[in-house]
Amino acid sequence: MLSIGKLSRATGVKVPTIRYYEQIGLLPEAERSSGNQRLYGRRTQERLAFIRHARELGFALEDIRELLALSDNPDRSCAAADRIAGRQLAAVNARLRRLEALRDELERMLAHCSSGRIADCRVIEVLGNHALCGHEHATGDDLTA
């Protein structure tokens, strides 16, 4: 059995995050020692590693909850897991397209900048007037989605 600190070190997940995952039901409630210290077994360690990897791949907590429920029933079809992963892949591809458009716009702004005075700076000019952008691109709010 591992204490929460040892579980944190073993999985690379911070202690407050482990407590949070336990609180929202992604991890089962920990056993307690006679001193009321949380204790975790190998199965919880594996589940936490699963959650961490899924988070690194950008899965939302609700998708992870669904994937965990699927993994708890190994004889079921993996079609639902495929759909969840497919949605995540589509979201990543959409984000990449937005980032590529932003990169292209930044490159265009820099290419048209003469590095002279701020009064003549193309970067400042384009940032001040969205109509001068060469591409339609996402706003800041769209990039965090």
3-state SS of 27-60 is CCCCEECCCCCEEECHHHHHHHHHHHHHHHCCCC
Q: Provide the pLDDT for residue 142.
A: 53
Q: What is the pLDDT of residues 5-31, one digit of tens each?
A: 999 999 999 999 999 999 999 999 999
Q: Provide the pLDDT for residue 65.
A: 97
Single pTM value for the model: 0.75
Integer CA distances (angstroms), 131 to 104, 136, 137, in order: 16, 9, 11
Q: What is the pLDDT of residues 73-112, one digit of tens each?
A: 989 999 999 999 999 999 999 999 999 998 988 888 888 7
Does CATH place domain 4-59 in 1.10.1660.10? yes
Arithmetic mean of pLDDT over the chain: 88
